[in-house]
Amino acid sequence: MIRKEDLPLVVDESMNEVHFEEVEMINSFLGQLDEKADFDTLADSFEELLAHMQEHFAGEEKLMKESRFPSYRLHKGEHDKILNEARYIYMDWRTRKESEPLREYFEEDIAQWLDQHIKAMDIPMAQFLKDGVVQCSIR
Ligand SMILES: [Fe+2]
């Protein structure tokens, strides 16, 4: 499980809401893995989660474009990379049907990615949307 309380917060409430929703979906998926839900149930949840990630990223990218956020390409690059990786993990799971690597992927890789991505990318972006200036440099 990923603790919602551990998620770093940005200054934009609607962005925080989307992050919370995503963590809830991940946690309910992990719960289904615990309960050994059937393949179709897990596949549906995983696909919903991928769709949510895609929408979440597209929403941020739209805001960045509209405000001409300077680190747009770097930020979008991180979104594209994790989305492709998650899609690959999904296809791999459909073939192998092993749930343990999935659990590890969400509890470790995705949890760590979310924490680092929000801190390095989303926090400065939300601050920029609010103030119109970049306060932290991204290195
Ligand atoms: Fe982001």
Domain ranges of the chain: 10-131
Element (H, E) at 49: helix 39-66
- Regarding pTM above 0.85, the answer is yes
Interval between CA 60 and ligand 1 midpoint (Å):
6
Question: According to the model, what pLDDT value does residue 103 have?
Answer: 95
Interval between CA 130 and ligand 1 midpoint (Å):
16
Higher pLDDT, residue 107 or 138: 107
Question: According to the model, what pLDDT value does residue 14 have?
Answer: 96
Task: Encode pLDDT of 29-86 as tens digits.
Answer: 999 999 999 999 999 999 999 999 999 999 999 999 999 999 999 999 999 999 999 9
The rounded distance, in Å, linking the Cα atoms of 77 and 10 is: 20
Interval between CA 5 and ligand 1 midpoint (Å):
18
The rounded distance, in Å, linking the Cα atoms of 98 and 19 is: 27
- Backbone angles phi and psi of 24, in degrees to 5: -60, -40
**Which numeric CATH code is attached to 10-131?**
1.20.120.50
Question: Hey, how many other C-beta atoms are within 10 angstroms of the C-beta on 65?
Answer: 11
